[in-house]
Amino acid sequence: MLPYGRQEVTEEDIAAVVRVLKSDFLTQGPEVPHFEKAVAERCGARHAVATNSGTAALHVACLALGLGPGDILWTTPITFVASANCGLYCGAEVDFVDIDPVTRNISPDAFAEKLQTAEKAGRLPKVLVVVHFAGRSAEMREIAALAKAHGIRIIEDAAHALGGAYEGRPIGCCAWSDITTFSFHPVKIITSAEGGMALTNDAELAERMRLYRTHGITRDAAKLMHDDAPWYYEQQALGMNYRMPDVLAALGRSQLGRLTRYVDARARLAARYDQALADLPLRLPLKDDATHRSAWHLYVVELDDAQGAPSRRSVFEKMRASGIGVQVHYIPVHLQPHYRRLGFGPGLFPAAESYYERAMSLPLFPTMTDADQDQVIDALRGILG
Ligand SMILES: *Cc1c(COP(=O)(O)O)cnc(C)c1O
């Protein structure tokens, strides 16, 4: 089966990991700060805090922004569940903003409308988690202006978007947000096996995220409140153990060297899909333009019933039967049983639900050959043509 995504681990990556395995530090050594610095520099942000998953990065980001019981977090329904769960972890309420059917990202119009209603009801969110779906930046200029006008903090969940750019600046620079988070899960743009990172330009937020990453414990002499003994440390907040091991930071840093090559390879394959599928009854993803340079984590087509496409289910099953590992990203979060139990259900976010009915992700990864891709194209043409 040709998978929808596949990591590449080189001999160089393996050597980097082995070097750490033979060193004194498996965790909390020099590799984590090296990796943090490398990602921060690549993205143009001042501070970076590595964690043991992208989900952990979202959680410490929410905690650092002070999200807690009585607060509200908004995000998009078309995302992985972690973008919403981070709000629930903090005891906050979660709600969703519908997508724009063309960009598949949070719709600035839907956001503006929902803000009006929420303001009247005195139920404005404290935090908005903006997801750059499939690697293409959301409309940050419009979204950030609306959020700022209402005192809402922004976390960019850029799990799909490392290596992408918006208005000519790398995603992760935090020009439009308080914090940007990444994931280094193997299907994402680069991998550290499991891992994540939170970037910010705010020194205080960075310090708080570091505290929450390590049990809420500090050894910083300037911060200690009750003693100064040489063995002394203090737990000053309720944190977690969300540290990235040094072994994995070495893998991530080694992979980071290939980021540009990876995103270029993904963009080339995406353009090749654009050409080969243009005449089929499909809605294709938006192409890159002067404002948006996607990292092309996913290539999602929508079966267009208006143009006579068969159902997504039948196409999905036939693709799988031909050995093509198509996937669906994502089942809208508000339709998950856990969220239905919180009062959500069908009909609440029509653009997201309509997208979900039709969406199918085609295989896309940097080591995919043209022959691999032709196999996908031929199978799809055979089913739809
Ligand atoms: C993968 C992903 C996450 C979670 O990352 P993990 O490293 O798997 O915890 C969060 N948000 C989005 C949009 C993702 O795709």
CATH fold for domain 259-384 = Aspartate Aminotransferase, domain 1 (3.90.1150)
Q: Is the CB of 105 under 6 A from ligand 1?
A: no
Dist. CA 183 → ligand 1 center (Å): 6
Task: Identify the three-state secondary structure at position 241.
Answer: strand
Closest atom of ligand 1 relative to the 188 alpha carbon = 1
Cβ contact 311:317 at 8 Å: no
Q: Is the CB of 373 under 6 A from ligand 1?
A: no
Dist. CA 185 → ligand 1 center (Å): 7
- Average pLDDT in the 290-316 region? 95
Q: In 3-state terms, the chain is what percent helix, strand and coil (to 5)?
A: 40, 15, 45
Q: Whose CA is nearest to atom 10 of ligand 1?
A: 82
Q: Which of 7, 52, 55 to mutate to test the pocket of ligand 1 (most atoms within 8 A of CB)?
A: 55
- 330 cis-preceded (ω within 30 degrees of 0): yes
Cβ-based burial of 364 (10 A; exposed 0-12, middle 13-18, buried ≥19): buried
List, for residues 304-352, the tens digit of each pLDDT value: 988 888 999 999 999 999 999 999 999 999 999 999 999 999 999 999 9
d(CA 93, CA 73): 6
User: Tell me, what's the pLDDT at 385?
Assistant: 81
Q: Is the CB of 295 under 6 A from ligand 1?
A: no
d(CA 337, CA 237): 32
Asked if the model's pLDDT at residue 373 lies above 90, the reply is yes
User: Tell me, what's the pLDDT at 374?
Assistant: 98
**Torsions phi, psi for 245 (to 5 deg):** -70, 150
User: Tell me, what's the pLDDT at 306?
Assistant: 86
Domain 11-256, architecture per CATH: 3-Layer(aba) Sandwich (3.40)
- Average pLDDT in the 255-273 region? 98
d(CA 43, CA 348): 36
Closest CA to 173 of 147, 201, 148, 145: 201
Number of neighbours of residue 273 by Cβ within 10 angstroms: 22
User: Tell me, what's the pLDDT at 305?
Assistant: 87
**Torsions phi, psi for 183 (to 5 deg):** -125, 145
List, for residues 180-219, the tens digit of each pLDDT value: 999 999 999 999 999 999 999 999 999 999 999 999 999 9
d(CA 318, CA 322): 6
User: Tell me, what's the pLDDT at 131?
Assistant: 98
**Where along the chain do the CATH 3.90.1150.10 domains lie?**
259-384
Q: Is the CB of 198 under 6 A from ligand 1?
A: no
Asked if the model's pLDDT at residue 109 lies above 90, the reply is yes
Dist. CA 227 → ligand 1 center (Å): 40
List, for residues 22-71, the tens digit of each pLDDT value: 999 998 899 999 999 999 999 999 999 999 999 999 999 999 999 999 99
Q: Is the CB of 333 under 6 A from ligand 1?
A: no
Q: Which of 136, 188, 298, 328 to mutate to test the pocket of ligand 1 (most atoms within 8 A of CB)?
A: 188
Mean pLDDT, the chain, whole residue set: 97
Q: In what order do the strands lie in the sheet with 292-293?
A: 169-170, 165-166, 292-293
Q: Which of 7, 80, 94, 155 to mutate to test the pocket of ligand 1 (most atoms within 8 A of CB)?
A: 80
Q: Whose CA is nearest to atom 7 of ligand 1?
A: 54
Dist. CA 120 → ligand 1 center (Å): 33
Parallel, antiparallel, or unpaired: how do β-strands 127-131 and 299-303 relate?
unpaired
Dist. CA 80 → ligand 1 center (Å): 6
The set of catalytic residues is 188
Q: Which of 76, 131, 183 to mutate to test the pocket of ligand 1 (most atoms within 8 A of CB)?
A: 183
d(CA 4, CA 363): 4
Can you give the length of the chain in residues? 385
- Scanning the chain, the segments in alpha helix (DSSP H) are 11-21, 31-43, 54-64, 82-89, 108-121, 140-149, 203-213, 246-256, 259-277, 312-321, 337-340, 350-358, 370-384
Closest atom of ligand 1 relative to the 184 alpha carbon = 7
Q: What percent of the chain has pLDDT over 70?
A: 100
Distance between the two ends of the chain, CA-based, in angstroms? Answer: 22
Q: Is the CB of 366 under 6 A from ligand 1?
A: no
List, for residues 3-13, the tens digit of each pLDDT value: 999 999 999 99
- Average pLDDT in the 152-171 region? 98
- Average pLDDT in the 88-107 region? 98
Q: Is the CB of 54 under 6 A from ligand 1?
A: yes
Q: Is the CB of 5 under 6 A from ligand 1?
A: no
DSSP 380: H
Side-chain-side CA neighbours of 140 within 13 Å: the count stands at 30
**Where along the chain do the CATH 3.40.640.10 domains lie?**
11-256
Q: Which helix (H) or strand (E) holds 30?
A: none
User: Tell me, what's the pLDDT at 27?
Assistant: 87
Dist. CA 327 → ligand 1 center (Å): 16
Dist. CA 174 → ligand 1 center (Å): 18
121 confidence band (pLDDT: 50, 70, 90): very high
